Amino acid sequence: MKAIRKLATVGGFILISMGSAEAQDNACARVDDPAARLACYDRAAGRVAAEGAPAPVPTPPAARPAPSRAVAESPREALRKRGAFDSTLTSVTPLRHGYYRLELADGSAYDTAVVAPPPPVGAAVHVRKSPLGTTFFDMDGRAPFTVKLSRRQ
């Protein structure tokens, strides 16, 4: 019973001290002038400006200049950002476990993400991306299948 009473007493002191700190913060929050409000918070925190000198008002940091587009992006990044396009399949290389590396006429290579029979070399292919970034190969006479850009670029 004594432990509960001690706990209640300590909890009460904590709540009372929190309430007085909140009341003090609310008094500064009600000041309309930004400089005066800052001075109020400084006084509450124990920071006092030198005699006769006004408290310095912090200035926002200068905005950084936008990075220039002159930096050349890697060919792999250019391939990732490219939208839908049409091409021709130039080579099919078998990988492990029934996957294939498909090379297109422009030299880009994609790895299949599903296990399926390989498409024929020379077939026309439409490459498109979903809104979430999944890349699909659309070919005549075949269901669309997912691919990912090969790491060997």
Per the model's pLDDT, the better-predicted residue between 78 and 138 turns out to be 138
Confidence of residue 151 (pLDDT cuts 50, 70, 90): confident
The angle at the Cα of 114, spanning 113 to 116, to the nearest 5 degrees, equals 135
Q: Which of 94, 96, 86 is nearest to 119 (CA)?
A: 94
The overall average pLDDT reported for the chain is: 80
pTM exceeding the 0.75 threshold for the entire prediction: no
Residue intervals in the chain for CATH 2.40.50: 75-149
Q: Is the pLDDT of residue 66 over 70?
A: no
Phi, psi of 134 (to 5 degrees): -70, 135
Secondary structure element (H or E) that encloses residue 51, with its range: none
Q: Which CATH class is domain 75-149?
A: mainly beta
Per the model's pLDDT, the better-predicted residue between 101 and 76 turns out to be 101
Check residue 45 and give its pLDDT: 77
Q: Is the pLDDT of residue 148 over 70?
A: yes
pLDDT in tens, 1-34: 677 777 777 776 676 666 555 555 577 888 888 8
Check residue 3 and give its pLDDT: 77
Which residues lie below 8 Å from residue 5, measured CB to CB, with a gap of 6+? Answer: none
Q: How far apart are CA 112 and CA 117, in angstroms?
A: 10
Q: Is the pLDDT of residue 132 over 80?
A: yes
Per the model's pLDDT, the better-predicted residue between 45 and 126 turns out to be 126
- What average pLDDT does range 92-106 have in this prediction? 92
Check residue 79 and give its pLDDT: 74
Distance linking the first and last C-alpha atoms of the chain: 74
Cα-to-chain-centroid distance, residue 62 = 23
Check residue 20 and give its pLDDT: 55
Q: How far apart are CA 138 and CA 89, in angstroms?
A: 12
